[in-house]
Structure 1
Amino acid sequence: MRRTPPADDVEFQQAEHVTQASLALPSGRLLISMQEFDDELPRIRLTPGTYAVRVYSNGLHTISEDGLDGEDRYHVVLWPMDEDHPAQVLKRYPEPLPGG
């Protein structure tokens, strides 16, 4: 987690796809899971509030047609913010995603 928004730096330039949205965390607990929910998955404790979430995606060309397998990777960055903002695509992957 950061205190301020990341700069549009090398990571942004190298990412294939970048999205950003706001996330309300009134409980201050964040669970990240790609496909399954399990009560035993670890939660990340944060100060309750609203956060901006930016997701840098790479390896999207390796995703299988059903969207379940691939060598795709994601880097998630959070920082606190005062209000909700709509989700937006900051950098669009040039091809339609498999299964999408």
Structure 2
Amino acid sequence: MHCFVYASQRKPNTYLWLAKRDDFGRIPESLALMLGEMRFALEVELTDERKLPQEDAKAVLEHLLTQGWHLQLPPNETLASANHPAYRSAPTDRSHDS
């Protein structure tokens, strides 16, 4: 699969993989706000056999095929749930924060 990788200008070492070039309308608004301005970094042909330094190519491909995007965070961060489709529709109940 041909895909496009963008670097977040706001969050160092954070990358957004897209199935279509400049298709930022596919990502959740909250994620777009978190990432800020994006800079094009790489265009790549991705297969599930390809070795990636910090990501599982099969997982990246699955996210690209099912939702059109994949979030790659620095190794020390754990927001991997943001790649899950439920992230887009998860309610934000903060009533217990009061």
| TM bracket, shorter-chain basis | under 0.3
TM-score by length of 1: 0.25
Identify, as 1 or 2, the structure richer in helix.
2
Identify, as 1 or 2, the structure richer in strand.
1
When Rg is computed on C-alpha atoms for both structures, the one with the higher figure is 1
Structure showing greater relative contact order (alpha-carbon pairs closer than 8 Å, 6 or more residues apart): 1
